[in-house]
Amino acid sequence: MLREYYADEDRAQRNTLALRDVDYVVEARLHMTGRAGAEDNPVKFREMFVRRLERGQQHFQPYFGCREFPAWVEPPEGAPAPVDETRSLGLMLHDIEFGVRNEARFFEAKLEHGVVQVPEWRVA
């Protein structure tokens, strides 16, 4: 026996507000840890990073928040200049601190001449 099925009655309505055609420039710093061996040094890891970046190699496809928003990672040469806009963006999720109680960590985001400075984890 066939039964009528209406998908509209059996779905979770979702709404997404997302940016498109956005370029991000990420600045990072390398810090050696106590696990570094005698042959390890910052130059070695920087060269390894640059080599993999230029070849498009990564362990997994990076994404923005969820896999429906993949990120393509490439060297910053040729990136457009930031928009010249300054304004408060309000609270922005920095990360989730996992523990006995998982807690969201936020920071007060501000766009300054098209650039958002994300504070270090312990400051946020």
Report domain extents, the chain. 21-29+38-79, 81-124
Q: Supply the pTM of this predicted model.
A: 0.58
**Model pLDDT, residue 80:** 81
Reported as a single tens digit per residue, the pLDDT across 106-119 is 999 999 998 888 89
Task: Give the CA-trace dihedral at 81, 86, 90, 96, to 10 degrees.
Answer: 30
32: alpha, beta or left? (left if phi > 0; alpha if psi -120 to 50): beta
- pLDDT, residue 69, reads 84
Task: Determine the Cα–Cα distance for residues 62 and 59; give it in Å rounded to an integer.
Answer: 9
Calculate mean pLDDT across residues 30-46: 92
**Calpha distance 110→89 (Å, rounded):** 5
